[in-house]
């Protein structure tokens, strides 16, 4: 018998949107039309529809039935393949927030978590450079015994990353224009 009891911990589930090339152009043109200015704070530099959007972006995504491809199919396969026991089937999950981040040269986002939800996701909609999202395995600072980070530089556009919402992550400065769609999911 082992002296250790291991609990399910932080994880990333990475998959690809099957029809990325078909849906990309339509979403990119919505964003180019919709984005206004840029937030430039110590925490983030990007245009984020998280603020003052009045649901225009999520209405657009729902009207065009894009949520199946970028959220529910990936969620379904994640839950089917989960390597530990889970309580929440996908049909008890809701999207609580859906927004886009439009980064230009130098755009970034400091360490943060997503609150009041269970899982979060990032869909890399448009990118021409190594992906800039870095995840922290054990909180922002990391404990001395577990300095674990994961750099997702190898991911290209079309990928979706799902993760437990309490995981810290950050976006390093982008060299070129980059767009991602982010979402929060509450599971009961
Ligand atoms: Fe985030």
Average pLDDT on 24-43 reads 92
- Cα(57) to centroid(ligand 1), Å: 17
What is d(CA 161, CA 111) in angstroms, rounded to the nearest whole number? 17
Read off the pLDDT band of 9 (50, 70, 90). Answer: confident
pLDDT of residue 146: 67
Q: Does residue 143 carry a pLDDT above 90?
A: no
CA of residue 5 to ligand 1 center, whole Å = 30
Residue 147's SS3 state is coil
What is the 22 CA–ligand 1 centroid distance (Å)?
Answer: 25
pLDDT at 14: 98
Is there a contact between 120 and 185 (Cβ–Cβ < 8 Å)? yes
Q: What is the pLDDT of residue 37?
A: 83
Q: How close is the Cα of 2 to the center of ligand 1, in Å? A: 36
Instruction: Please report, rounded to a whole number, the percentage of residues in the chain having pLDDT higher than 70.
Output: 92
Q: What are the residue ranges spanned by the domains of the chain?
A: 3-83+96-187
Q: Is the pLDDT of residue 151 over 70?
A: yes
Residues 85-142: tens digit of each pLDDT: 877 666 689 999 999 999 999 999 999 999 999 999 999 999 999 999 999 987 655 5
What's the CA-to-centroid distance between 133 and ligand 1, angstroms? Answer: 9
C-beta of residue 93 within 8 angstroms of C-beta of residue 187? yes
- Domain 3-83+96-187 CATH superfamily: q2cbj1_9rhob like domain (2.60.120.620)
With beta carbons less than 8 A apart as the criterion, state whether 131 and 153 touch: yes
Mean pLDDT of all residues in 159-168: 95
């Amino acid at each position: 018998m082992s002296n250790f009891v291991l609990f399910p911990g932080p994880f990333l589930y990475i998959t690809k949107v099957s029809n990325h090339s078909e849906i990309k152009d339509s979403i990119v043109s919505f964003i180019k039309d919709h984005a206004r200015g840029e937030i430039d704070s110590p925490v983030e530099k990007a245009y984020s529809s998280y603020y003052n959007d009045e649901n225009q972006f999520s209405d657009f995504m729902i009207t065009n039935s894009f949520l199946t491809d970028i959220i529910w199919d990936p969620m379904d396969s994640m839950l089917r393949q989960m390597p530990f026991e889970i309580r929440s089937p996908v049909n008890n999950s809701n999207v609580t927030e859906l927004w886009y981040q439009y980064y230009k040269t130098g755009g970034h986002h400091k360490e943060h978590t997503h609150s009041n939800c269970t899982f979060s996701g990032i869909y890399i909609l448009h990118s021409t450079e190594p992906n800039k999202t870095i995840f922290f395995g054990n909180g922002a600072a990391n404990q001395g015994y577990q300095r674990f980070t994961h750099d997702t530089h190898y991911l290209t556009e079309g990928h979706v990353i799902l993760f437990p919402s309490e995981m810290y992550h950050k976006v390093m400065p982008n060299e070129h224009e980059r767009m991602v769609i982010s979402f929060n999911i509450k599971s009961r």
